[in-house]
Amino acid sequence: MNRRRPGVGSGVAIGSADALSVERARRDEILDTASQLFASSGLRTSLLEIADACGIQPGSLYHHFESKEAIVVELVERYHGELDRIAETALEELKRSDPRLVLERIASLGTAIALCAVRHSAAVQFTFYEPPVGASHELVRLTSRAPTTIEAAMVETLRVGKSSGSIRSGIDLRTLADRICQTMLHVGLGLFHRYPSVDRVARRLCQILLYGVATGSPKDARLDRSHALRAVERVMKAWNEGDATGDDDRAALIRAAARSEFGRRGYEVTTIRDIASAAGLSVGTVYRAIGSKEELLASIMRSFGGKVRAGWNAALGSKSTTVEKLDAVAWLQINVLDRFHDEFKIQLAWLRQSPPDTPYLEWSFPAVLRQLKSLLSDGARSGEIRIESPASELTARCITELTWIPEEIVRSAGKRAALTLARDTLLRGIARRSPTS
């Protein structure tokens, strides 16, 4: 059914200013609608679906945008433009604010980044994956652009905090700024995509980053000796011993190619032809060896999910304190990202779907949240941790997010430094504690 808006294409004469206003309003409507569709379905979304959701004919959509890529380019440009404006505003407000209130400025900037990420969820996703084959130079440039302006604003805010004595010494501010900004941008991706109150999510994340969840300030030496960390180490050692799947060489080659393509491009836009090309095989050979794309994904994620689940169970089932278990989970996540970065990216794309298009075999995220809520409740009752609403799902999701360290940090700083950063931002907090805390 044609749901054309009144006055659009009706032949009614309007002034040039009004016509320009109508033109911009329709263009913005198309972009907003496309953003919502891309956020839930990825680049498989067609121009026909966008036009239908806008209530216009496809020909009318082409009047505003010559291609789907043109829409994607403008969405990413809008996203970067808003991040730049947020950074400029933050720096101006920092000049006028009391340095003693810098922790509030950090939380405000973090919240602004999270709100931007949710408004531009599709664009954040486009910057998370490589652009499709044949993408223009402009799209490649935009999607690979790092959020340098917002990170610079966060670094400057942290410097003021360190100078005023509000931020602990011994933490690299640039790495910390990267960690905070990436955490807030992640709010627009997976774990929080169904929460209506984004500022509440961001405030909870900032509260943990600033003050940590541990009542005390656990030392690295103690955490390194925990039963939970040793249990996770045993699971990770078994990864090397249990990689055999019974596949022949051809099936193993196909699975390796599929992992790389799914992680690099995103599951939705990757085709069997892409996988076959990456493996150097024919499409028919891939179908005969593996089956459908859905079956291929399920087999990859079944193996991955089993490994991750074993690590979580080992950490949470150990004879350790709540803080030690959270630390061990962070170490597990760092190693998962280092070893299985393609599967990690596939998992993140899956988490944004509700219900998912493809079953995530062997890994139940709701079960993880239940385990975490129970663990946090026990820790709060014993006085070992201090955190708002420890039994809430929101808190459990925030803790899950903060056990993750950005891949770039793990790669550049190394796994051990990434673990120290996780301890500083999840357990100890970056704010200087008073002698009595």
pLDDT attached to residue 11: 45
pLDDT attached to residue 12: 44
DSSP 136-197: -HHHHHHHT---HHHHHHHHHHHHHHHHTT-B-SSS-HHHHHHHHHHHHHHTTTSTTTT-S-
pLDDT digits (tens, 9 = 90+) for 164-195: 999 999 999 999 999 999 999 989 876 665 66
pLDDT attached to residue 359: 47
Cα–Cα distance, 30 to 284 (Å, whole number): 39
Cα–Cα distance, 189 to 325 (Å, whole number): 26
Task: Report yes or no: 159 and 172 within 8 Å, Cβ to Cβ.
Answer: no
pLDDT attached to residue 16: 66
Which domains does the chain carry? 16-64 (1.10.10.60), 69-211 (1.10.357.10), 220-428 (1.10.357.10)
User: Exposed, middle or buried: residue 306 (CB in 10 Å: 0-12, 13-18, 19+)?
Assistant: middle
pLDDT digits (tens, 9 = 90+) for 309-337: 899 999 999 999 999 999 999 999 999 98
- Model confidence at 353, in pLDDT bands (50, 70, 90)? very low
Most confident of 15-29, 251-265, 335-349, 414-428: 414-428
Query: Taking residues 345-363, what's their average pLDDT?
Result: 52
Task: Report yes or no: 268 and 42 within 8 Å, Cβ to Cβ.
Answer: yes
- Please state whether the predicted TM-score (pTM) of the whole model is above 0.85: no
**Residue 227 C-beta-side C-alpha neighbours within 13 Å:** 9
- Model confidence at 103, in pLDDT bands (50, 70, 90)? very high
pLDDT of 149 strictly over 90: yes
pLDDT of 92 strictly over 90: yes
pLDDT of 368 strictly over 70: yes
Query: Taking residues 389-407, what's their average pLDDT?
Result: 92
pLDDT attached to residue 192: 61
pLDDT attached to residue 414: 95
Q: Tell me if residue 114 falls in helix, strand or coil.
A: helix
- Model confidence at 355, in pLDDT bands (50, 70, 90)? very low
pLDDT of 263 strictly over 80: no
pLDDT attached to residue 358: 46
| Mean pLDDT, the chain, whole residue set | 85
pLDDT of 356 strictly over 80: no
pLDDT attached to residue 42: 74
Task: Report yes or no: 329 and 318 within 8 Å, Cβ to Cβ.
Answer: no
Q: What does the radius of gyration of the chain's CA atoms come to, in whole angstroms? A: 24
pLDDT attached to residue 357: 47
pLDDT of 385 strictly over 70: yes
- Model confidence at 433, in pLDDT bands (50, 70, 90)? confident
pLDDT digits (tens, 9 = 90+) for 11-64: 444 456 676 777 888 889 999 999 988 887 777 788 999 999 999 988 888 889
Question: Which value, to the nearest 10 degrees, does the dihedral of the CA atoms of residues 22, 27, 29, 35 take?
Answer: -170
pLDDT attached to residue 254: 87
In order of 72, 112, 184, 190, 204, the CA distances from 199 in angstroms are 26, 8, 11, 16, 9
